[in-house]
Amino acid sequence: MTSRPMRSETSSEAVERYGTGAVAFHWTMFLLVVAVGILGLLHDSWPKRTQAFWINLHAMLGLLLWLTLIARFWWRIRHRPPSLPSGVGDWWRRLSGPLHWALYALMFVTPIVGIVTFIWHGRIFDFGVLHLDFGVRSNRAVFRPTEDIHGYLAYAIFALAGAHAAAALWHHFFRRDGMLGRMWPMKEVRSHAGRQP
């Protein structure tokens, strides 16, 4: 899958877009992070009678996020990401890579810690037609610290994802250099600030 060129608002230079697969992975993971995050933040608000259902759903979506991340790694190895626009400064170029890989690392580790917490709570994975029971008894000495670590890692994901989104919006509305359009599902995104009357 080759990257597709688009036009920057600020120059006639073609800006490479991510391919369809990469865009699909990005926005699928975005939706999963939002869903899992909301369920996690509402953890203490669930009624007791439905708590097991929501905790199981949180775990299922977290596992799906982890598997989607693995698939995205596989895809990225086989598909070169497009180059950054030439107008992007050296500081942003140096920061972009570490920010992305830190976010990937957090999304890889956080579900694993969550699964450990889930299992050592003595819970059973309910896939609807399949129930996966590890036969582990609830062990507070294990799940209490891992539950805290899971929460801290989740907040770190929110912080980095927020920084990532803020940077994309800044490039779109202030720099108008086509950065957001590279990953936007539609072929071209135009900033209101960059439109001519």
pLDDT tens, position by position, 43-81:
888 888 898 899 999 999 999 999 999 999 999 888 887
Query: For residue range 73-125, what is the model confidence (pLDDT) as tens digits?
Result: 999 888 887 776 666 667 677 777 788 889 999 999 999 999 999 999 989 89
93 within domain boundaries: yes
Share of the chain above pLDDT 90, in %: 41
Residue 8 · residue 176 · CB < 8 Å = yes
H or E segment at 146? helix 140-170
CATH number at residue 60: 1.20.950.20
User: Could you give the CA distance from residue 40 to residue 62 in angstroms, rounded to a whole number?
Assistant: 10
151 within domain boundaries: yes
191 within domain boundaries: no
Residue 15 · residue 182 · CB < 8 Å = yes
| C-alpha dist (Å) from residue 102 to 110, 160, 196 | 12, 8, 38
How many domains does the chain divide into? Answer: 1
Q: Provide the CB-side half-sphere exposure for 119 (13 A, CA).
A: 12
176 within domain boundaries: yes
195 within domain boundaries: no
197 within domain boundaries: no
Q: Which residue has the tokens 């905790």?
A: 55
For residue 152, the enclosing domain spans: 4-186
66 within domain boundaries: yes
Mean residue pLDDT across the chain: 82
- As a whole number of angstroms, the longest Cα–Cα distance in the chain is 67
H or E segment at 188? none
Residue 114 · residue 59 · CB < 8 Å = yes
56 within domain boundaries: yes
Residue 15 · residue 181 · CB < 8 Å = yes
Structure-model confidence comparison of residues 16 and 103, the more confident one: 103
